[in-house]
């Protein structure tokens, strides 16, 4: 209930302040202030989407750092918009409005058509005729990525192999050919009980007290985000550091009096 | 009516279109940059909405990187505008059409 109310408040505020950013003539300071307002409304929407960390980052980085630089440049240059004071309507303004509206119509139209298509396996199963086999695409054209890897898709893909296991036609330990492929599966290695098995600490279960302290729904908080950031995305994270360094040096060099 | 993924994506599309309109009709370089920030924010909103409705945090990571890139872009871009103003005494991008330094 409250989520809905706040969504409409934030959405209306975001759209109106975005229009103010684009359409207020004369002094660019007003546009910058409208842009700050817009960033705050968008931070509210991020909060509704349970992206708590990003909502705070939005206010700090956009509303703080970036807008301070904008304000600084606007006040430093003190540009009087002689030609933009009164907007002279020209042909390219009509073309621009037409382009923006047709882009919006294209996106909203494709969204509406996507909304009416079945989204997951249960919906597909509900819409299929009874007694008909359901064909679900189990693999995507991108290697390593599986789209809608559901029960029907898995069954279509691996049903034959599982059937051959169940009927004891062959076992993977026999080192035979997999039916329908030329891959040979090796025999399993004997398990040596005399050797001690060392479990790496990362694979050990977390202590009970730790689990109890944890937020029941950590989605969007800083903990899962930081775990992703320093594991799967660690290379991009480090490259961002290089990018920011390059940006700082570049800004210094470009802004110098003589290039 | 509970907001769905469709609502968030439609909102992002509207904000992106407004930013696009700003890029097309404004000739002041500073305002152009503001419109570009608007478009980047709309894309961020799309990523976060998808992230929420797929229950997958990867979108948050992308939004985070977009914020970092936007900060770098703002710093370099505003330095470029400063240099443009020193050279041409204007920030109107139509007047700064000469490649000659």
| Contact: B68, A76; criterion CB under 8 Å | no
Cβ neighbours for A76, distance < 8 A, ≥ 6 positions apart? B82
A44 interaction partners in chain B (CB closer than 8 Å): none
* A167, pLDDT greater than 90: no
Helices and strands (H, E) in chain A, number of each type:
10, 0
Specify whether the CB–CB gap between A225 and B61 falls below 8 A: yes
B18: chain A residues, CB-CB within 8 Å: 15, 18-19, 21-22, 100
Average of per-residue pLDDT across A164-171: 66
CA distances A183 to A18, A161, B81, Å, are 58, 13, 61
Q: Give the mutation candidate from A13, A21, A36, A65 for the B interface (greatest B CB count, under 10 A).
A: A21
pLDDT, position B26: 84
Q: Write down the pLDDT at residue A67.
A: 92
DSSP-derived letter for residue A93 is H
Q: Which residue has the higher pLDDT, A174 or A51?
A: A51
Who among B58, B75, B78 is closest to A248 (CB)?
B75
What is the rounded distance in angstroms from the CA atom of residue A256 to the CA atom of residue A28? Answer: 24
Close Cβ partners of A230 (under 8 Å, ≥ 6 residues apart): A237
Any CB–CB contact under 8 A between B54 and chain A? no
- Please count the other Cβ atoms lying within 10 Å of the Cβ belonging to residue A173: 10
Residues 6+ apart with CB under 8 A from B4: B53
For B28, list phi and psi in degrees, rounded to 5: -85, 125
Contacts of B28 in chain A (CB under 8 A): 28, 79, 81, 84
- Interface membership of A22 toward B (CB under 8 Å): yes
Nearest CA in chain B to A258: B83
Which tops the pLDDT comparison, A84 or A14? A14
Nearest to A138 by CA among A129, A128, A124, A130: A124
Identify the pLDDT of residue A170: 61
CB proximity under 8 Å: B 70-89 to A: 70-76, 78-83, 85-86
Could you report the per-residue pLDDT of A65-116, keeping only the tens digit for each? 999 999 988 888 876 655 555 556 778 888 989 999 999 999 999 888 877 6
Average pLDDT for A132-149: 47
Contact between residue B33 and residue B77 where contact means Cβ atoms under 8 Å apart:
yes
For the cut 80, the answer to whether the pLDDT of residue A198 exceeds it is no
Q: Do B59 and B50 form a contact (C-beta atoms < 8 A)? A: yes
Optimal mutation site among A100, A120, A229, A232, interface B, most CBs of chain B within 10 A: A100
What is the pLDDT at residue A178? 58
Percent of the residues in chain B that have a pLDDT greater than 90, as a whole number: 54
Among candidate residues B68, B76, B37, B64, the one with its CA nearest the CA of residue A240: B68
More confident residue, B43 or A129: B43
Q: Do A61 and B67 touch (CB under 8 A)?
A: yes
Give pLDDT, residue A186: 55
Distance CA A117, CA A112 (A): 9
- Please tell me the number of Cα atoms within 13 Å of A38 on its side-chain side: 32
Q: Chain A: give the shortest CA distance to residue B100, in Å.
A: 13
**pLDDT for residue A177 is more than 80:** no
- Reported as a pLDDT band with limits 50, 70 and 90, residue A118 is low
Mean of the pLDDT values across residues A53-65?
Answer: 92
DSSP, collapsed to helix, strand or coil, labels residue A44 as helix
Average pLDDT, chain A: 77
Spatial CA neighbour of B26 closest among A36, A22, A20: A22
What share of chain A has pLDDT > 70, as a percent?
61
Q: Which pair of tokens denotes residue B44? A: 């961020």
Average pLDDT, chain B: 89
Give the residue on A whose Cα is nearest the Cα of B26: A22
State pLDDT tens for residues B6-51. Answer: 899 999 999 999 999 999 988 888 889 999 999 999 999 999 999 9
Q: Mean pLDDT, to the nearest integer, of B56-60?
A: 88
Q: Give the distance from residue A112's alpha carbon to the nearest chain B alpha carbon, in angstroms.
A: 8
Identify the weakest region by mean pLDDT among A138-147, A150-159, B53-62: A138-147
Residue B28's SS3 state is: strand
Residue A87 — left, alpha, or beta (φ > 0 → left; ψ -120 to 50 → alpha)?
Answer: beta
Q: Do B72 and A244 touch (CB under 8 A)?
A: yes
ipTM, 2 decimals? 0.93
**CB environment A189-207: b (16+ within 10 A), e (fewer):** eeeeeeeeeeeeeeeeeee
Environment class of A111 (CB within 10 Å of its CB; exposed 0-12, middle 13-18, buried 19+): middle
pLDDT at A105: 94
DSSP type of residue A198: P
- Residue B65 touches chain A, beta carbons under 8 Å: yes
Q: Is the pLDDT of residue A175 over 80?
A: no
């Amino acid at each position: 209930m409250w989520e809905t109310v706040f969504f409409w408040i934030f959405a209306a505020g975001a759209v109106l302040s975005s229009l103010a950013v684009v359409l207020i003539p004369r002094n660019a300071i007003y546009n910058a202030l409208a842009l700050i307002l817009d960033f705050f409304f968008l931070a509210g929407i991020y909060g509704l989407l349970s992206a708590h960390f990003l909502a705070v980052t939005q206010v700090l980085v956009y509303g703080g750092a970036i807008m301070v630089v904008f304000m600084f440049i606007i006040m430093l240059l003190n540009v009087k918009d002689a030609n933009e004071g009164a907007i002279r309507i020209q042909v390219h303004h009509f073309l621009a409005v037409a382009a923006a509206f047709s882009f919006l119509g294209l996106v909203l139209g494709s969204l509406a058509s996507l909304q009416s298509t079945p989204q997951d396996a249960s919906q597909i199963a509900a819409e299929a005729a009874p007694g008909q086999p359901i064909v679900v695409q189990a693999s995507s054209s991108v290697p390593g990525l599986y789209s809608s890897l559901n029960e029907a898709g898995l069954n279509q893909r691996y049903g034959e192999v599982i059937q051959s296991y169940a009927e004891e036609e062959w076992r993977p330990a026999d080192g035979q050919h997999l039916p329908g492929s030329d891959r040979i599966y090796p025999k399993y290695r004997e398990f040596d009980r005399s050797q001690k098995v060392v479990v790496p600490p990362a694979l050990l279960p977390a202590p009970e007290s730790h689990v109890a302290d944890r937020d029941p729904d950590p989605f969007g908080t800083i903990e899962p985000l930081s775990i992703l950031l320093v594991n799967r995305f660690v290379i991009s994270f480090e490259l961002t550091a290089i990018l920011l360094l390059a940006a700082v040096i570049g800004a210094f060099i470009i802004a110098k009096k003589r290039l | 009516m509970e907001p769905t993924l469709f609502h968030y994506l439609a909102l992002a599309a509207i904000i992106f279109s407004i930013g696009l309109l700003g890029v097309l009709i404004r000739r002041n370089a500073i305002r152009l940059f503001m419109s570009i920030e608007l478009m980047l924010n709309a894309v961020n909103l799309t990523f976060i909405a998808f992230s929420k409705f797929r229950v997958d945090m990867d979108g948050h990571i992308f939004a985070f990187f977009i914020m970092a890139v936007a900060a770098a872009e703002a710093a370099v871009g505003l330095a470029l505008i400063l240099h443009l103003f020193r050279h041409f005494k204007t920030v109107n991008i139509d007047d700064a059409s000469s490649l000659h330094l």
